[in-house]
Chains A and B, each alone.
Chain A
């Protein structure tokens, strides 16, 4: 039995899980909802039919929005929408242990992988995000556990959860079904003529059940398939992400470890650690051809390979957050490479390098998360508030600021300038209508005073810049009251008095 001092490894595991759970709950309400979370809240607050319509016009499947819709009615909106993610992320820590035990990994590997998942900023960030990523991770772990335990009904349910959670769910599903079939290949196949008295410890290979589980999940997905294809067709040219490069792939690997937490010299140091451990673990799996190492390497990298293949035939889809289903296999792979059959001095050396950076990541996670989520929308409202008068209209040049302003008091009237084509990643008319956004030219709106808010990031097209200038030309009395510019973004507010 693995022991440190008088504690069994199970107690150390419990301590790690407790600390990881505390970190997932700590400061849950500290940051405002950022754009993606705010639009999730907005959708979840709408009647169920409108929520479904908005989801259909957007880019994701509906399961997470349905969970948020229920959460709004049970707990409330705002940061309460992060509660399901926290619970799912804590459940993932337990699932990780079960997966590791199903792989028959040693206690040292279980402890190390749990520590990575519990403390790495990437997992902490998405545990506190009111989006579907914690569900995607839990679903992928559940499906993997079903594969390892050969629970095919559970696999069918978990695959269905995955494909209704995120479009990447199909990538993970394909890899997991392939893994299930590959594992079945290693089991004996007994013919009917085999003597019945020969007892084998291993069950017969079963290729049909994983395929049936995948088929059931596929059938259950059929009602959404048409919607997904329509979403895919619409987003083909309008999506914001750029073509993937080698650096883009490396950035995904980096983000799976440190996310946005490390600053200054700590960032390259963290990258060196992350890459060395990732490539080192892959190297060990390949050099030793160890079945567990190879399975974990496939689980960690195959979804990435599928995403890159999809890019070749469709459009760029690689997103670090959607790779969260690969995070747990990656942490298991690294922990396996550090500890399984390795000399103690080497494991000690690795942890001597990793532990300080991990501690720095934990310490810097919370302020980095709050900074990242404190959107410009709140800064803009701070600029308006001192001179705001009851009844003043907030007129948004694009959907970015109107979504950021969703947390503002309900009595403040908002309207949106008619959307100018060309900007990337903008929710379509179906979404905007289902959210009840009033989208009209300013001249058509009744107002005494209007605050025109223009928030322009990299994906806002030049055509919108010109449209805002043209609109303001109609109001020579417009007073510029706030301006802020960086290389990649601009924010301006004008006050118009009629």
Chain B
């Protein structure tokens, strides 16, 4: 299969720069997707099965989860400020 590595030998520096750009984009999108998947799992964990936890424990764990979640978003998105547009 003609993959990224097999082609390097006959391609120019431009190709390597493109691969680096794709890798950076991949890393950014993967970070964002992780945030979203975590958020969705949290939502269903708390919305669909609330009876699993006692009300007080549920409130505390929900508040902790939201704080961690928002911190993650601030961390990941903050690193992207000033970055080039995502998709190319």
Q: Is the CB of B18 within 8 A of A488?
A: yes
**Binding site of B, secondary structure by majority: helix, strand, loop or mixed?**
helix
* Residue B68, interface by CB 8 Å: no
Looking across the interface, which residue of chain A has its beta carbon closest to that of B22? A242
* Residue A457, interface by CB 8 Å: yes
Q: Of A66-74, A197-205, A274-282, which stretch is located at the interface?
A: A274-282
Looking across the interface, which residue of chain B has its beta carbon closest to that of A286? B44
* Residue B11, interface by CB 8 Å: yes
Q: Is the CB of A265 within 8 A of B80?
A: yes
Q: Is the CB of B81 within 8 A of A247?
A: no
Q: Chain B 53-88, CB within 8 Å of chain A: the 1/0 string? A: 000000000000000000001001100111001111
Give Cα A272–Cα B35 distance, bound, in whole angstroms.
8
Which one of A250, A259, A260, A276 lies within 8 Å of B39 (CB-CB)? A276
B3 contacts across to A, CB distance below 8 A: 242-243, 316
Q: Is the CB of B87 within 8 A of A457?
A: no
Give Cα A316–Cα B7 distance, bound, in whole angstroms.
13
In the complex where A268-B32, A283-B40 touch, is A247 in contact with B22 (Cβ < 8 A)?
yes
Q: Is the CB of A280 within 8 A of B11?
A: no
B7 to chain A, nearest CB (A): 7
Q: Is the CB of B2 within 8 A of A236?
A: yes
A166 to chain B, nearest CB (A): 21
Q: Which of B11, B21, B43 has the most CB of A within 10 A?
A: B11
Q: Is the CB of B40 within 8 A of A245?
A: no
Which one of A260, A275, A287, A487 lies within 8 Å of B36 (CB-CB)? A275
Restricting to B3-53, which residues have a CB under 8 Å from any CB of A? Answer: 3-4, 7, 10-12, 14-15, 17-19, 21-23, 25-30, 32-33, 35-37, 39-41, 43-44, 48
Pick 29 A–B contacts, CB within 8 A, sort by A: A239-B2, A242-B3, A246-B26, A247-B25, A247-B28, A248-B26, A250-B30, A251-B86, A254-B29, A262-B86, A264-B82, A265-B80, A268-B80, A272-B77, A275-B36, A279-B37, A280-B40, A283-B43, A315-B2, A316-B3, A458-B11, A458-B14, A458-B18, A459-B11, A461-B10, A462-B12, A463-B10, A487-B17, A488-B21
> Given A488-B21, A489-B14, 19 more contacts at CB 8 Å?
A242-B22, A247-B22, A250-B29, A255-B87, A260-B87, A262-B86, A264-B82, A267-B80, A267-B87, A268-B28, A268-B80, A271-B28, A272-B36, A275-B36, A276-B39, A280-B40, A283-B40, A284-B44, A462-B12
